[in-house]
Structure 1
Amino acid sequence: MDTIRSSQITKAIQCISESVFVGLCRKLGTSQLVTMRRDVVDIMEKVRNQVTTSDEDRLIVSGSRSEGFRLQGSDMDIMKWSNNQCVVWELYQSQYYNTHRQTLILCDCSDSPPGFTLLYLLSPSMDRYIQRVCVRMNNRYYVSSSKYRQFSLSESSLTTPYNPTPHGPCASRTLGPIEFDNAPCFVSDFWPPSASSWIDRCHLWPQPHVVDDIVKNGCHFVAIGHKLGHHEDHEWRISFSQAEQKLVFVMNHCQFLTYGLLKLILTEIINNGVGDDDKLLCSYHMKTAIFWVIQQNTIPHWCPQNLLGGFWVCFKLILKWVYEGVCPNFFIPENNMFLSKICGIKQHQLIIRLSELYEKGLAFLLHSPSIRSYIINVLHNPRNSICTDDHTLISEAEFDRNLFGEILPHNISAKLDIQSCSRYLHTIEQMIGSPLLTQYQVLKLQNITARVLQYTAFKLHMETYTPDNKLSYRADKMSCHMLKLAAKFGCITDMLYIAMYYYKTHRYMEALSFVEMTKVKLAQPYVMHDFIIDTEMYTAAVGGQSWSTKMRQAVARYVRLYNSIHYINELIPELQSALQNHWTFLFVPSLVLLYMLEILCYRHVDTMRVQTALDDLQTLVHYDQGQFIPLHLRDIAWQILGICQQVTGNLQAALYSYQQSLRQKPYNKVHTATEMRIQSLPMNSLN
């Protein structure tokens, strides 16, 4: 009887595990989705690093988003370092560098806690940046982490529009829903001697070729010292971010979802309702736990039926670490990551909290909003079969929505010159034919190409336009060609860049022809507007076609306008307002921009049709419920309506629209322009 009951319990747990696996695939992504996200981030990083000159910083992208997560709060860590500075562990390694061109730095770990080091200048640095952040100790010059961090933050405040704030060794900033942590750092091409034991531990996981790849890529150093170190203000932490990302990439999907489940439980249960100062456990501890569990081969079979088994082993390991007050770093186990953080009364309170969850067993997962329903479904319907083939868990339309959400965002700097644009195009031309590229990476390269072509076309016009000039004529032909070529690589609303260019160059009928083509396409019921989609209509219309075709025919996105380029003269005050308020772009809903162009063009060629277009814009702005105007873009929508009302002479309506713009969330930072426009309205015409 006991054997039968044990078998039934095991079967029930396996069914619940399968159901949770399905739920996590839908919450965190199927294996195909996760692969696509990683590929897109990877190709963006490669393009950026190949485009940069030898004097510019190199970078790697890490963090939750680069690992493949898209949870609320998933961050993106950007580690930057100079090509002209190299760190060595032993003096003999300096022979591999040109000391006349590169600053050599030697690690000095003799008086630092495990996982930390001092950085001693071996050769004089010509870099004023380095000279300003050095301190003298024992007749040597060391690069001070605290000074480096402060100087980097002050420099970032001057050069970035996003008002960075200090966050550990990083300058943190938020763009939309994504948090970016910029970490200026140093790089070593050599693996740390203190992490050599990790190589010896890798018997089963990761595989030898992965170990070799990790070791040959060395490590980084980020600007933060150990709180209990003798030189906290000057020490640097050894960072294995690049190695950790490679380890996450070689997890199978069940292991990745288990890691994701640990992150969810941390957010939704362990840290739920806890103040920021009392959140002792973090996502990095969860990652460390699953690394140790996988490597120690505690779970022989990571599969959907055993997902909860793997999770439970990880949870017990974390509880053990908290109880002992020791969390060994995966690469340097002597580095106890709980030291000075999880101790005393806070440690005792955390033990009680985790022990209460442990005593409930896996039932405590019912407190997670993300997976509760998947557990309950099995409890209510224990005989239902569960399909865990993650390729069937997401529809074609839903996958496309996720894909275009990764592909379409712009990823080029707002400060490019013509030469930089040329380097972008040359780099992409060299990369695009590589057989090593995935289909997602090819699509992203096409999209970057479209963005660079659009940017170059307007930049070229700004820098070469002179009336009745042969050079301007040639540049104009090139700009038109680039914009039309970009539209072939992009989505429906990329045709509006062509319309803006024709309007800017006073070719109103040509502009209207592209406005009309765009309007016809946007009116189709199957079009995906800013990733809002009617799944059935979309699938019926473009299902099974190539992604390039789907983008051109069935995908619409808001239009991004760089404040460094004057696309439309009527929007110059808004672009300047964004610039003054440390914002790089205007994000304009596509239909709002379309109606604006229609109104502005008809004023020159057919004044009888201006009012109809204005009525269409007014109806859209007043009554749209988020279908065509995302809620966070209502500030610019009301602003543009006001501009169009003002240029057509309806000043009272324009005042109302400007006032409505000021009442919205100032996402586009146009409030300075709004206030200026209100003040410029003739007061006697408003009475």
Structure 2
Amino acid sequence: MFQEHDYRENLSLMLSEVLDDIGVNERIVMRRRRHSMLMETMDNITNRLTDTNMTVYYLGSQSEGTTTIGLLSDFDILVCSHDYNIIQDWSEWEHGKRNYLMIQDENTTPGYCFLQLLRHDVPLPATVIPDEHHITDRSGKILLKNTIFNGAIQGAVDHGPSLAKQGRPGLSDTDIVPSLPCKSLHQSASDWLDRQGIGRWPTQDMRRYAASTGCFVVATGSKVSVYPDLEWRISTSLAERCLMFNLNITQIRCYVLLKMILKSFLNPQDEINISSFMCKTVLLHCIENTESSIWTENNLFICLTYCLLELHSCVQNDRCSHFIIRENNLMAGQFTAEKKNELLKKISDFLQNDRQKLLTIDIDDLGHRLQVKLNMVPNGAYYYQSSIELNEHFMTSEYLNKAYLTSVNHKLVLKHLQNKNIRTMKHCIGKLITFNINGNRLEQAAFKFLSPCVYTTYGSILASSSISENNQVSPEALVWLSAGLNSDISSSRLKLASVLYSTEYMEEAELILRHTEQQYYSNPVIPTCNCWHTPPSAPTAEYRRVCGEQSEDCIKHITAFCVKFIKEEINCVPHELQYEMFRSTQDDMIHRHQHADKWMDWAVVDSLPYLYFLQYKIYRHLQRHQDQQQALGKLIRTIATDRNLGHRETALNILGQCMEQKNRPQHALKCYQLSLQQRARNNVANFHIGKLLYRMLVSQ
């Protein structure tokens, strides 16, 4: 008996060490949480700058830190629109808002509700159906369909209640969940607020916080619902995030092991029988119903067994009660009788052979690592990534996500600034600065990523305005351009060089370009563009090493954003690139997305081709013909060999114009034809070809 106890304790400690080695430790968990919260903050700052009336929340395993590299967890993003006011009591009704009353009756599944439309001018039920997203029930109530968000997000596909967007190499996939807010926690959670388990967990502080977070309604009906298009799931995501943030490391490791077992044995080949959310719920119930002293590293194996026994009981009884809203049975309608028996057999089989089964888990090489720890095989018998390599992998993914999200948010701010006057733009800049002055640490960190890109754009807009007036760059414009120079390794510097080129400060522009080129090739740079869905190459070993060794500030030295000019910057853009602002014909407009393709009205080009193009133009002006020819050769090679270009068609268009200027019309025509092979629609190459053919005809 004592030997069995010692073995379980030893196995628990070895399991804990293995999980520590693969990144399930306090340092990485906190790092994952900060990363997710920083991205959430960056998105929400952008929402405030662009007057977008919504808030996003990063939820799930990535934000909780309850994942590993091998589990391939998505980012779960809850998008909450504040244009709606969801109420449980008439006292919560707000004048002028789109008010909906949550209704639960004999027709709704527990944990779900209907949303009844109310009048916006007085607190009374609406009597007129406003659009196709509403329907009248038998009693005359006007209800909101949960299909209102269908097709709401560009590039997304239906994925249960969420909209899934596939990630690019090095980036995580994203589940985007549209939701509506309710300021108060749902009434069905009131029992949970008063309940106290054996372990006195959650604490009263956690419960008070949970009560203050309110809840959401998510656009999905129950699988057993009679009215699947009308039901909305009640979500307590923020309260759940609070609970997960208050787990100790053993509880987190237990949850990670549950997910590995789920993926390896219970849900083979990506078949979803039991969800990770069910496992999380089982874990929370187990923590509530046990003494807190049980959850220690030397008891990890026992805790895991207890959770699996509880999961077996849930499947056997066809019931897994939501931790906060107990009436919501997460397993309702989830399994057929055949599937249920199959799952019970699999869980029982694992429990009877748990030690052997753990040794066969391939995810993150957990089984092999455990065999080495238990001295079952000699060290070196299996190859698996070291802790340093895993850290580099994790940090690389984190930095790529930060760079990509910075680019995304910069583009959203640009969309907001276009067609605005200087006063409105200045107000937007002022709002951004307040996040640095008055914001918390996360807001100040997000400011560091966003502000340089925005400053550069604002400086370029001011420069364009002053150039149109007196062909000079105002001192204020130069101040803002200088403030934004460290957005990344190239794009902001290229904008400054472009401004100087436009005002014929050629020597100064050439110096900036030469320095930028030197820096570009002194660092393992990855171009970042979110305009087209062009996958970048895998990060190099040197890039991963830099990510593993340096702080997140290194992103500015290993990232090259594409260079974006909106029409308000047109006087800072060489005329060859200005054509890109007029790429779309009336026929092309039909093939553009109303929101996601707004950038097609701008001039956008990858950093490296633009650098060589500017060098070509400047050396031509300075009559440095050998340097000019070298710059042209570099532009040609970059277009031909760089797989990372997101705007290859634009690079080919400006190369074609260079060929025209060198009186090589056949080469120019070939460039434009290659450009059209890249993008047949919304490509100004069509115009260049027509113009070139006309000139050739006239010359003959």
Question: Shorter-chain TM-score: which interval?
Answer: 0.7 to 0.9
Using a 3 Å threshold, how does the CA distance of structure 1 residues 227 and 166 change in structure 2: closer, same or farther? Answer: same
**Aligned-pair CA distance for 1:212:** 1.0
**Aligned equivalents of 2:113 and 2:228: distance in 1?**
10
**Aligned-pair CA distance for 1:327:** 2.0
Structure 2 residue 576 is matched with structure 1 residue 559: no
Q: 2:59 aligns with which of 59, 62, 65?
A: 62
Q: What are the Cα deviations for residues 434-465 of structure 1, in whole angstroms up to 9, with x where unaligned? A: 48415xx5332122111222333344556x46
Q: 1:186 aligns with which of 180, 193, 202?
A: 180
Q: 1:492·1:522 contact (CA, 8 Å) conserved in 2?
A: yes
Q: Please, which moves more after superposition, 579-588 or 597-606?
A: 579-588
**Aligned equivalents of 1:680 and 1:253: distance in 2?**
67
Amino acid at match of 1:224: T
Structure 2 residue 629 is matched with structure 1 residue 611: yes
Amino acid at match of 1:271: N
Amino acid at match of 2:429: L
**Aligned-pair CA distance for 1:9:** 5.5
Amino acid at match of 1:570: E
Structure 2 residue 644 is matched with structure 1 residue 630: yes
SS of 2:150's partner is helix
**Aligned-pair CA distance for 1:20:** 2.7
Superposition pairs of residues 63-102 of structure 1, within 5 angstroms: 63-68=60-65, 72=72, 74-83=74-83, 85-91=84-90, 93-94=91-92, 97=93, 99-102=94-97
Amino acid at match of 2:576: E
**Aligned equivalents of 2:650 and 2:276: distance in 1?**
37
Q: What are the Cα deviations for residues 116-172 of structure 1, in whole angstroms up to 9, with x where unaligned? A: 1122234346999983233333554333224xx24x335x3xxx6x24433334444
Q: 1:454·1:483 contact (CA, 8 Å) conserved in 2?
A: yes
Superposition pairs of residues 279-428 of structure 1, within 5 angstroms: 279-297=272-290, 300-365=293-358, 366-372=360-366, 373-380=368-375, 401=396, 404-408=399-403, 409-410=406-407, 411-412=409-410, 413=412, 414-417=414-417, 418=420, 421-428=425-432
Q: What are the Cα deviations for residues 170-201 of structure 1, in whole angstroms up to 9, with x where unaligned? A: 44445645544444433221111111122123
Q: 2:614 aligns with which of 590, 597, 600?
A: 597
Partner residue of 2:435?
Answer: 431
Superposition pairs of residues 111-150 of structure 1, within 5 angstroms: 111=106, 112-124=108-120, 131-132=130-131, 133-137=133-137, 140-146=140-146, 149-150=147-148
Using a 3 Å threshold, how does the CA distance of structure 1 residues 225 and 292 change in structure 2: closer, same or farther? Answer: same
Structure 2 residue 187 is matched with structure 1 residue 201: no
Partner residue of 1:389?
Answer: none
Partner residue of 1:515?
Answer: 513
Structure 2 residue 466 is matched with structure 1 residue 495: no
Unaligned runs of 5+ in 1: 385-391
**Aligned-pair CA distance for 1:515:** 0.8
Amino acid at match of 1:200: D
**Aligned-pair CA distance for 1:13:** 4.2
Q: 1:559·1:588 contact (CA, 8 Å) conserved in 2?
A: yes
**Aligned equivalents of 1:171 and 1:574: distance in 2?**
32
**Aligned-pair CA distance for 1:486:** 0.7
Amino acid at match of 2:634: D
Using a 3 Å threshold, how does the CA distance of structure 1 residues 680 and 75 change in structure 2: closer, same or farther? Answer: farther
Q: What are the Cα deviations for residues 265-314 of structure 1, in whole angstroms up to 9, with x where unaligned? A: 4445543425xxx5233332233233223333377454555545444443
Using a 3 Å threshold, how does the CA distance of structure 1 residues 358 and 395 change in structure 2: closer, same or farther? Answer: closer
Amino acid at match of 1:351: L
Using a 3 Å threshold, how does the CA distance of structure 1 residues 536 and 266 change in structure 2: closer, same or farther? Answer: closer
Q: 1:460·1:479 contact (CA, 8 Å) conserved in 2?
A: yes
Partner residue of 1:388?
Answer: none
Q: Please, which moves more after superposition, 608-617 or 255-264?
A: 255-264
Q: 1:614·1:645 contact (CA, 8 Å) conserved in 2?
A: no
Structure 2 residue 22 is matched with structure 1 residue 23: yes
TM-score (norm 1): 0.78
**Aligned-pair CA distance for 1:240:** 1.4
Using a 3 Å threshold, how does the CA distance of structure 1 residues 399 and 64 change in structure 2: closer, same or farther? Answer: closer
Using a 3 Å threshold, how does the CA distance of structure 1 residues 337 and 643 change in structure 2: closer, same or farther? Answer: farther
Q: Please, which moves more after superposition, 253-262 or 228-237?
A: 253-262
Partner residue of 2:100?
Answer: 105
Using a 3 Å threshold, how does the CA distance of structure 1 residues 318 and 653 change in structure 2: closer, same or farther? Answer: farther
Q: Please, which moves more after superposition, 12-21 or 635-644?
A: 635-644
**Aligned equivalents of 2:159 and 2:365: distance in 1?**
31
Superposition pairs of residues 527-606 of structure 1, within 5 angstroms: 532=540, 534=542, 548=553, 550=554, 554-559=557-562, 561=564, 569-571=575-577, 576=583, 581-582=592-593, 583=597, 590-606=607-623
**Aligned equivalents of 2:260 and 2:676: distance in 1?**
37
Aligned Cα RMSD in Å? 4.5
**Aligned-pair CA distance for 1:16:** 3.4
Q: What are the Cα deviations for residues 198-256 of structure 1, in whole angstroms up to 9, with x where unaligned? A: 21235522322222111112111122233433443322211112222222222334433
SS of 1:333's partner is coil
Using a 3 Å threshold, how does the CA distance of structure 1 residues 169 and 492 change in structure 2: closer, same or farther? Answer: same
**Aligned equivalents of 1:681 and 1:631: distance in 2?**
25
SS of 1:487's partner is coil
Using a 3 Å threshold, how does the CA distance of structure 1 residues 422 and 325 change in structure 2: closer, same or farther? Answer: farther
Identity within the alignment, %? 20
**Aligned equivalents of 2:341 and 2:606: distance in 1?**
52
**Aligned-pair CA distance for 1:684:** 12
Amino acid at match of 1:109: Q
Q: 1:166 aligns with which of 144, 154, 158?
A: 158
**Aligned equivalents of 2:375 and 2:130: distance in 1?**
68
Q: 2:156·2:165 contact (CA, 8 Å) conserved in 1?
A: yes
